[in-house]
Amino acid sequence: MIKKIKEKLGNSSDIVERKINNISYIYLESVASDDKISDFLNKSIINITAFEDLLDTLKNHIYNSHILTIDNLDDAYYYLASGYVLLFIDNSKSFIVIEAKSKLDRGITESSSEPLIRGPKDSFTENNAVNIGLIRKRIKDYNLWIDEEKIGRRTKTKVSVAYIRDIAKSENVTAIKKILKKIDIDGILDSGYVRDYLEANQRSSFPKTISTERPDLACINLLNGKIVLLVENSPTVLILPACLDDFLKSSEDYYLKPVNSTFSRILRYMAFFITILTPALYIAFMTFNQEMIPDQLLISLATQRSQVPFPTFVEVLIFIVIFEILREADIRSPSVSGASMSIVGALVLGDASVAAGIVSPIVIIVVAITSICELVFSDMDMTNAIRQWRMIFIFSTIFTGIIGIVAAGLILIIKLASLETLNTPYLTPFSPININLVKDSLILRPANKRKKRPSYLTDNVKKVGDV
Amino acid sequence: MKKKLIISLFLFFLTGCWNYQELNDCAIVTGMAIDFNAGKYEVSLLISNGSKKDEEGSSAQIAVSSAEGINVYEAIKNISLSSPKELYISHLSVIVISEEVAKEGMNPILDFLLRDPQSHQNFYLVLAKNTKAKDCLSVLAPLSDYPSQNITANIKITEKLQGRITNAGFNNFVSKIMQKGNNPVANSLILVGNAKDGVSEEEQEKSISSAYTKLDTLGLFKNDKLIAWATIDESIGINMLLNDVEMLYFTIPCENSNMVITTNKYDLKNKVSKEKIDVSIEAEGMINEVGCTINLEDPKTISEYEKKAQEQMLDYTYKALDKAKRLGVDVFGYGNMIYRKYPKYFNSISNWNNSFKNLEVNVKIKFNLQNKGALEQTIGELMK
């Protein structure tokens, strides 16, 4: 049997096998822990003296809680790759698998992409069990159910669906599981793969699932009736259904005073519109609707512009593209080269380009405002969507001015309003308007006033009182 | 679907950058002056974005270009013959019209300004009194970047602080011309000093300007033609009756000297009937300066000077009414008030300006001295 397995694995170099009496075992040293195996497997096997009914004896004598008896050889490979030890007894068809995983993850660290000032600092890791643990630790309700699916023909990645049974809508859970079951793919390396399948029915640049590294944000959403998808080897969990409003929230909002959080949420909404509209408005004002600028500003702009040989929109496009490249380079580059990047960005692009007469100072201000407002959003998919729509706005403005902005704005609203995830409109709670939900969107009411769960996520709306 | 998308994308290109205009290609016109020169219109435009280089990059420099034409449009087109940029008049903030042009009639100019799609009709209209309009526009002002800004700011601020400047908006002027039984008035500018001294750059660096513009009295129009200038007293009276007064100051005699009173609250009500207009004015004011020795703590003194102030204000209004009746121009819009109340009666009158001469206007003024300023008593009284 061992020979068969070794052959199937191509005699890979990390296979370790050993035979003690008539018991033999095999494991992969790359994923299993040698220490664990020597500690509890070898010791217990050596102590065994009764050889009748060996399988049961073994099961009863090995100091390990993860013991399974299987007789399907196909399953064996999965367990082997997951860090289990396969235990064979001569002349027996079935065999035992025993967990002996070695720790192959980096442990719980602070979130780097979604930092908070106030609030728990831990973040999800690549280890599925740890991730589930981080949620369980926070929600100790027996109604927190976690279903698991192995996806990927070759990677056999665990995808866990976590939800609170009596809050989350069961049809949403079944819908998600149905989609997961249908996934037929070679491998899943990150939750991004799964998200593509979940959003497949409606293409849009706007993300329809929240991606987060923060267990507290996942738990806030679980308690509201959303469903959390944890993908093995991915520190980013997916939360759905998501609407636009969710991307303008931060879990920190709930930890700070509600009045202040309301203020920052309003700022975020403003930033959303500013970052999409500013370059387009600038182009419209400079090339079509000059009458909308006050006299003195117009004259000052005109003198600034008079040194620049390019049309306004070329100037704006040049600078936006340069900024995007700078940002992309900043994300990809190792942190050691960050300093030189910022010197190039600030001095060369900002100062020298004006002195050289390539762009006017006001364009730098416009692009700076745009990009600062863009940085408000931590979700990469969201910023990419904003980037895309900003370009659509700019191009429609180049041809028709303010009318172009209005037209593109209409298209944006129509597009957003027609999106939905799991029967939830993307613009909830603004369209359709739901006054009760607005209390936790643009305006945040104090925790003692938020007595109801969002009705679009759950039928079990009451938070307090009868359960 | 994809084909449709691509086709609709190309629709954008079909617009061919409709209405596209780079700011670089615009000559931003902030002021316009219209003169008569040998039977032709001479139009001067103040262009505010001529750029020059200095150590700190670039700053705006103004340029006045003028040309002649048999009408305003032709004159402007003649200017553009010498301009490297397209003339852009949406940001026009002031238009200066010379006396001769205003006497000839404003209609051609008004028509151009109302008809031009670029013009936004939100600018000031002033008359140039005893001087060329072009000179008023080209004199550099020490306190502002360019002359048009100087004139508009001057009007905007002074209108609030002094009774003799009227609300000089172009829209206001035009609507008065078009109304039945109404005639407009307009502010005027005079030039102090020699215009040639005021146009050089060095002039701005001097602390005492040798040439500058100054707001003067009102011009009275009959329909679209300027027919007379008001005196200072008449200008104040006209503004009082037009309810266009925020702060009004006047001097009244007291014993052997005089005192200055400013109104800080002014309320006017017209009671209109077919034969007469009853004007009742309620005003409150304060004392600004007292040159004589009187006891200000005595209520009798106060009421005595309140009465004197009332007489002074009454005098202004009657001077204004006299002038208007003598000329037969209803600049107060009383005809319009009657027209609104009794349209049939008004239409039966063939020439309103003639019957305005016989219109009875009664003015009643109630003046209250509310405030004596920071000093409660006169200095002479305190020294006793």
The percentage of chain A sitting over the pLDDT mark of 70, rounded to a whole number, equals 99
Average pLDDT over residues A211-230: 92
B55 pLDDT higher than 50: no
Give the residue numbers in A contacting B (CB under 8 Å), as ranges. 286-288, 290-291, 295-296, 298-308, 311-312, 395-396, 398-401
B57 pLDDT higher than 60: no
Q: pLDDT tens digit string along A331-375?
A: 888 877 777 877 877 777 778 888 888 888 889 899 999 989 998
Average pLDDT over residues B132-158: 82
A256 is written with which tokens? 């700070």
Cβ contact A302–B15 (<8 Å): no
Helix (H, G, I), strand (E, B) or coil at B56: coil
Rounded Cα distance, A157 and A176, in Å: 16
B60 pLDDT higher than 60: no
Residue B15 has a pLDDT of 63
- Mean pLDDT check: name the lowest of A11-25, A328-342, B21-35: A328-342
**Contact (CB, 8 A) for B237 and B320:** yes
The CA distance from B345 to the nearest CA of chain A, in Å, is 44
Cβ contact B21–A312 (<8 Å): no
Quote the pTM value.
0.82
- Mean pLDDT check: name the lowest of A108-112, B11-15, B33-37, B185-189: B11-15
Residue A405 has a pLDDT of 93
Q: Residue A306: which of B15, B58, B149 has the nearest Cβ? A: B58
Q: pLDDT tens digit string along B271-280?
A: 988 888 899 9
Residue B52 has a pLDDT of 52
A157 pLDDT higher than 50: yes
Average pLDDT over residues B155-165: 84
Q: In 10 A of CB B14, how many CB atoms?
A: 8
* ipTM score of complex: 0.76
Q: pLDDT tens digit string along B81-129?
A: 988 888 888 888 899 999 999 998 888 889 998 888 888 888 899 999 8
Tokens 């936004």 found at: B120
Interface test with B, best of A283, A289, A290 (most B CBs within 10 A): A290
Cβ contact A291–B91 (<8 Å): yes
B53 pLDDT higher than 50: no
Does the beta carbon of B59 lie under 8 angstroms from any beta carbon of chain A? Answer: yes
The CA distance from B104 to the nearest CA of chain A, in Å, is 31
Q: pLDDT tens digit string along A399-431?
A: 888 888 999 999 999 999 988 888 888 888 888
The CA distance from B61 to the nearest CA of chain A, in Å, is 9
Residue by residue, DSSP assigns B99-122 as: HHHHHH-SHHHHHHHHH-TT----
Instruction: Map out the domains of chain B as residue ranges.
Output: 24-229, 240-384
A163 pLDDT higher than 90: yes
Q: Which residue of A has its CA nearest to B48?
A: A299
Q: Name the pLDDT band for B10 (thresholds 50, 70, 90).
A: confident
Residue A236 has a pLDDT of 93
Cβ contact A298–B22 (<8 Å): no
User: Which CATH superfamily, name and number, covers B240-384?
Assistant: Nutrient germinant receptor protein C, domain 3 (3.30.300.210)
Rounded Cα distance, A179 and A193, in Å: 13
Which candidate, B305, B316, B310, B311, places its Cα nearest to that of B258? B305
The CA distance from B159 to the nearest CA of chain A, in Å, is 21
- Three-class SS of chain A: CHHHHHHHCCCCCCEEEEEECCEEEEEECCCECHHHHHHHHHHHHHHCCCCCCHHHHHHHHCCCCCEEEECCHHHHHHHHHCCEEEEEECCCCCEEEEECECCCCCCCCECCCCCCCCCCCECCCCCHHHHHHHHHHHCCCCCEEEEEEEECCCCCEEEEEEEECCCCCHHHHHHHHHHHHHCCCCCCCCHHHHHHHHCCCCCCCCCCCEEECCHHHHHHHHHHCCEEEEECCCCCEEEECCCHHHHCCCHHHHCCCHHHHHHHHHHHHHHHHHHHHHHHHHHHHHHCCHHHCCHHHHHHHHHHHCCCCCCHHHHHHHHHHHHHHHHHHHHHCCHHHHHHHHHHHHHHHHHHHHHCCCCCHHHHHHHHHHHHHHCCCCCHHHHHHHHHHHHHHHHHHHHHCHHHHHHHHHHHHHHHHHCEECCEECCCCECCECHHHHCECCCECCHHHCCECCCCCCCCCECCCCC
Q: pLDDT tens digit string along B226-267?
A: 999 999 889 999 998 888 888 888 888 888 888 888 888 888
Residue A97 has a pLDDT of 87
Residue A51 has a pLDDT of 65
Residue B54 has a pLDDT of 46
Q: Name the pLDDT band for A452 (thresholds 50, 70, 90).
A: confident
Q: pLDDT tens digit string along A28-75?
A: 888 888 888 888 788 777 777 766 677 777 777 777 788 888 888 778
Q: pLDDT tens digit string along B254-265?
A: 888 888 888 888
Residue A282 has a pLDDT of 93
Highest average pLDDT, of A194-198, A301-305, B292-296, comes from A194-198
Q: Residue B120: which of A291, A308, A312 has the nearest Cβ? A: A291
Q: What is the mean pLDDT of chain B?
A: 85
Helix (H, G, I), strand (E, B) or coil at B85: coil
